A and B are shown apart, each in its own frame.
Chain A
């Protein structure tokens, strides 16, 4: 454990700063690395090249452009709600990152029902999207908002059920405990790489990643935005700074869900503890507080690469096909997975 004892205000300041970095850094990295560059290379073009070397300053140029734009609100819009909606979506990402651990001591909060909390607050963004669609006074926005509500609620279920498998195996809802259980565990007695649940809970991992894709409204499930059908869905009437907030929230959410997935399935910030002979949480060396976040960012990038890769290559499903997929495939599969996990947990 770290010996330094910070006063409460310093800890709070550190947490706020850390939270901001943990939300904005993944968002910026994902947008530049994947949305600008990887997508361009997949589509045989170069992407932004003018602002900075290899277009690396493009993000700042974009933010500057959006900040300069006029703040337009439709005359018939419900003004107050219209303004609040993007903030709700953004705030939900901030409160979501609060439970993600980045190292043995590098966490914002560490409480017992961490997974439960994460799954609960991840649905707050639905509220923002729904009221954005409603308050815009636009038929396309309304359709987009309603689609989002239906879709996000339907995909909460497989996501929760997929996580239940992990929780059963780890025996805890605490994120730190889940990380510990993975890195300290063993697969049928072999502890060479610990027990990252992507190996033993691969079904749950698949279901979780599909549900995340839907939860983030990325392409095979992007009907709420569906730019060829609904112009831009619930975001149609937003421009300038408010659109920027939606945009940041979208990609920050990609990063945060990738972080949560890496905690639940890829061993989080840890390295297999057997490599260094650590056998309890307290035995973990302090340098993991520095290396841990880097490991997390690496895993986050790998998972968001997956999300983005699917986004760039697949066409979009239809709304009823999406619902059918959630209720008839994902939920039964994850229920069977829970049952098998429970049986194996009792048997071994």
Chain B
């Protein structure tokens, strides 16, 4: 841990020493507290069993699976086009982004590529679902910390993005728009101009949130130096997305991976933060929302003309083979390992969701913190229950 600054080192050592010190100083009996499955801070049904000494966490254990819906098994009894309807529901706030890696994997197996216009629109919708997802996080962050106003701003401005997604795909939450070989439809008339307007509004929203929350002294006191994850530990636990970048690891699949999306046509900055604390994770997400609006703007400027659907047989049979495609989803790396045996449906699908790995660090990072910080850390790790339990 040579690349940690002093403040982080101190807080890390303090956290690690906490339970040992407590046991030596006072031989008190602890209290086991069930946070969840029904608890306002777990926005869903995550259960975290914490062992407390006073208000200090001595030991924490997340218990996932209260909302397990068996997607990996369900995909096996569906045809390839039907699967997208299902996997929309994994991360329900950024639905379209769930479809893309699966479709890309299927396309890889069938050895077809979507036309350029379809790839660009896919990328635009992918980023829009990122904005819809993360803007809600930025509002919800306030609620977790007791500030009730930002969440309403988030809901207000997310509505514009959802309207756009609905305008293009017909579904606000679950678009089911991606098809093997392209997209269901082209963009509607006037959509591009409207999107530009909305991106401006979203940048305003980011400024508002930055002023209202991130500049607030109390917010900084509550998040800075709390829940520090050093880069080495973050990589060991398989964190991805903003959680990893907040620990200073410069890793973004949008930039680092050659994939059939239009990310190589735009230039955007991959933000990292050296601190690795709760504040860094929240700040990275704020910057990424801004960056996403810029990506959308650039893509709208250069969108090519042409068809949105490649030539695909009417009945889709995916040839035998295996494919792994992962993308940088709003929550982190999401990937599908698709095994096909030449049937109408997949033989086996392994879904790698970001939140499941992100939440696996909870026992490590919660040790030695206070109960209020449990909530801050969970909020800043940002998980969606559907994404954990699948």
Tell whether A pairs with B. Answer: yes
State the A residues within 8 Å of B (CB): 39, 42-45, 139-140, 143, 219-220, 222-223, 226-231, 312-321
- Contact in complex: B152, A318 (CB < 8 Å): no
- Determine which of B146, B222, B371 lies in contact with A219 in the assembled complex, contact meaning CB atoms within 8 Å: B146
Nearest-neighbour CB distance to chain A for B38, whole angstroms, equals: 9
- Contact in complex: B372, A43 (CB < 8 Å): no
- Contact in complex: B213, A315 (CB < 8 Å): yes
CA–CA, A226 and B145, complex, Å: 9
What is the 8 Å Cβ interface bit string for chain B, positions 1-34, against chain A (1 contact, 0 not)?
A: 0000000000000000000000000000001010
CB-based nearest B residue for A324: B221
Known: A139-B31, A315-B142, A318-B221. Contact between A229 and B147, CB under 8 A? Answer: no
CA–CA, A319 and B221, complex, Å: 12
Is there a chain A Cβ closer than 8 Å to B216's Cβ?
yes
Contacts of A222 in B (CB 8 A): 146
CB-based nearest A residue for B145: A315
CB-based nearest B residue for A316: B146
What is the 8 Å Cβ interface bit string for chain B, positions 144-164, against chain A (1 contact, 0 not)?
A: 111111001100100000000
> Given A228-B143, A231-B40, A318-B222, 19 more contacts at CB 8 Å?
A39-B148, A43-B153, A44-B152, A44-B153, A140-B33, A143-B371, A226-B146, A228-B41, A228-B144, A229-B374, A231-B39, A312-B149, A313-B147, A314-B147, A315-B213, A315-B218, A317-B218, A319-B370, A321-B222
Contacts of A231 in B (CB 8 A): 39-40
CB-based nearest A residue for B221: A321
Question: Closest 6 A-B residue pairs measured CB to CB?
Answer: A316-B146, A43-B152, A315-B145, A315-B147, A318-B372, A228-B41
Known: A316-B145, A318-B372, A320-B370. Contact between A229 and B219, CB under 8 A? Answer: no
- Contact in complex: A44, B213 (CB < 8 Å): no
Nearest-neighbour CB distance to chain B for A38, whole angstroms, equals: 11
- Determine which of B31, B39, B156, B218 lies in contact with A316 in the assembled complex, contact meaning CB atoms within 8 Å: B218
CA–CA, A301 and B143, complex, Å: 26
- Contact in complex: A318, B370 (CB < 8 Å): yes
CA–CA, A68 and B96, complex, Å: 44
CA–CA, A318 and B216, complex, Å: 14
Contacts of B147 in A (CB 8 A): 219, 313-316
Is there a chain A Cβ closer than 8 Å to B333's Cβ?
no
CA–CA, A44 and B144, complex, Å: 20
- Contact in complex: A45, B31 (CB < 8 Å): no
- Contact in complex: A228, B370 (CB < 8 Å): no
Contacts of B213 in A (CB 8 A): 315
CB-based nearest B residue for A321: B221
- Contact in complex: B375, A317 (CB < 8 Å): no
Contacts of A313 in B (CB 8 A): 147, 149, 212
CB-based nearest B residue for A225: B146
Known: A219-B146, A228-B40. Contact between A315 and B153, CB under 8 A? Answer: no
What is the 8 Å Cβ interface bit string for chain B, positions 129-152, against chain A (1 contact, 0 not)?
A: 000000000000011111111001
Contacts of A318 in B (CB 8 A): 221-222, 370, 372-373
Nearest-neighbour CB distance to chain A for B58, whole angstroms, equals: 15
Is there a chain A Cβ closer than 8 Å to B207's Cβ?
no
Contacts of B250 in A (CB 8 A): none
- Contact in complex: A42, B149 (CB < 8 Å): yes
Is there a chain A Cβ closer than 8 Å to B72's Cβ?
no
Residues of B186-217 contacting chain A, CB below 8 A: 212-213, 216
Contacts of B40 in A (CB 8 A): 227-228, 231
- Contact in complex: A226, B149 (CB < 8 Å): no
CB-based nearest B residue for A317: B218
Contacts of A321 in B (CB 8 A): 221-222
Nearest-neighbour CB distance to chain A for B376, whole angstroms, equals: 9
CA–CA, A42 and B147, complex, Å: 12
Known: A143-B55, A317-B218, A319-B55. Contact between A228 and B371, CB under 8 A? Answer: no
- Contact in complex: B33, A139 (CB < 8 Å): yes
Contacts of B142 in A (CB 8 A): 315
- Contact in complex: B372, A315 (CB < 8 Å): no
Q: List 7 A-B contacts (CB under 8 A).
A: A44-B152, A143-B371, A219-B147, A315-B213, A316-B145, A318-B222, A319-B372
- Contact in complex: B33, A229 (CB < 8 Å): no
